[in-house]
A and B are shown apart, each in its own frame.
Chain A
């Protein structure tokens, strides 16, 4: 059974960098799927942030690309997300999820529980 679990700071100050980790269990992240991050501001819809394959191929939301870094640690079966220059608009629940690897399969079939990040001084 695939399980994803996000971990992060909860509260970050404006202008600082957010760092989140997603630990995947029950499935090797090298086994053929893409892995992504999606966020959801309180009471609002879903916004895709970034997707990565374990080989390093990365796809970005153009609106966030300049501030986002995603990496994978295959030895720990973990994903990580860094988001720079935070503002209050980045306050959201951040989800990691497994994503299909080819067109028409770009849906997210396994999700973490989410990690609420608040940006405030």
Chain B
């Protein structure tokens, strides 16, 4: 199975900061990566697919980049409502795997 390693496991930043979360795949997966946001007590919400395509309704301060084995999610101008845990998922193989998550705090 394709392993997906996410870092850091947690971070703290100020309102307005830019924060970046990274995800590394154990083999090349082209741009087959998605990012999710999960707030406490809620289901995950799809933010980005195809590594950099923004899901409908997601604020433009969220952006994704990368291909092959290295990917990143950037929040440009962190807002209080962005406090959540973020997960990446490789979408290359049907044997789906998720990163371990990054908890973002303010």
Interface presence of A25 (CB below 8 A): no
| Beta-carbon nearest neighbor of B44 in chain A | A111
Instruction: Tell me whether A51 and B94 are in contact in the complex, defined as CB-CB below 8 angstroms, given that A104-B30, A104-B31 are known contacts.
Output: yes
Instruction: Tell me whether A46 and B98 are in contact in the complex, defined as CB-CB below 8 angstroms, given that A104-B31, A113-B43 are known contacts.
Output: yes
Chain A contacts for B55, CB-based, 8 A:
109
Q: Is there contact, CB below 8 Å, between B44 and A109?
A: no
Least distance between B90 CB and chain A CB atoms (Å)? 8
| Beta-carbon nearest neighbor of B89 in chain A | A107
Residues of chain B from 59 to 106 with CB closer than 8 A to chain A in the complex: 87, 89, 91-101
Interface presence of A45 (CB below 8 A): yes
Chain A contacts for B31, CB-based, 8 A:
104
Q: Is the interface of A mostly helix, strand, loop or mixed?
A: loop
- For the complex, give the distance between the alpha carbons of A36 and B43 in Å: 14
What is the size, in residues, of chain B's interface with A at 8 Å between Cβ atoms?
Answer: 27
Q: Is there contact, CB below 8 Å, between B100 and A107?
A: no
- For the complex, give the distance between the alpha carbons of A36 and B99 in Å: 18
Partner of A51, one of B46, B96, B97, B98: B96
| Beta-carbon nearest neighbor of B94 in chain A | A59
| Beta-carbon nearest neighbor of A96 in chain B | B43
| Beta-carbon nearest neighbor of A101 in chain B | B94
Chain A contacts for B23, CB-based, 8 A:
none
Q: Is there contact, CB below 8 Å, between A114 and B43?
A: yes
Q: Is there contact, CB below 8 Å, between A45 and B43?
A: no
- For the complex, give the distance between the alpha carbons of A106 and B33 in Å: 9
Q: Is there contact, CB below 8 Å, between B95 and A59?
A: yes
Interface presence of A48 (CB below 8 A): yes
Instruction: Tell me whether A62 and B91 are in contact in the complex, defined as CB-CB below 8 angstroms, given that A104-B32, A106-B96 are known contacts.
Output: no
B residues neighboring A (CB under 8 Å):
1, 30-32, 34, 36, 42-46, 49-50, 55, 87, 89, 91-101
Query: Closest 9 CB pairs between A and B?
Result: A107-B34, A48-B96, A111-B43, A106-B91, A46-B98, A104-B32, A59-B94, A107-B49, A107-B91
